[in-house]
Amino acid sequence: MSFFEFMFVPMIVFLTIVVPIWITLHYRSLNNSSRALSDEDRESLEEMLETVDRMTDRIINLEAILDADRPNWRNEKEGGR
């Protein structure tokens, strides 16, 4: 029995089972590592969240002012002035 005949079955098993699993796990690990936010992305996200908080506070204040000035402003139709 030659070396080629001896290694034929293990090579086929390796190529059909081990290699696809290996490639799948490799690219899955790359995908998971790329999902993490970089420091720059994290800072940008924090700035956006602070901006959203400020805008929410402003909207609440504007709605309170409108409620005081025009109590039924939410029920009025647009363009019905």
**Do 41 and 3 fall within a single domain?**
no
**Do 61 and 31 fall within a single domain?**
no
Q: What is the mean pLDDT of residues 20-35?
A: 87
**Do 52 and 70 fall within a single domain?**
yes
**What percent of the chain is modeled with pLDDT above 90?**
49
Asked if the model's pLDDT at residue 80 lies above 60, the reply is: no
Please give the model's pTM, rounded to 2 decimal places. Answer: 0.49
State the pLDDT at residue 76. 81
Asked if the model's pLDDT at residue 33 lies above 80, the reply is: no
Domain containing residue 48: 37-81
State the pLDDT at residue 41. 86
**What percent of the chain is modeled with pLDDT above 70?**
94
- DSSP secondary structure code for residue 75 in this structure: T
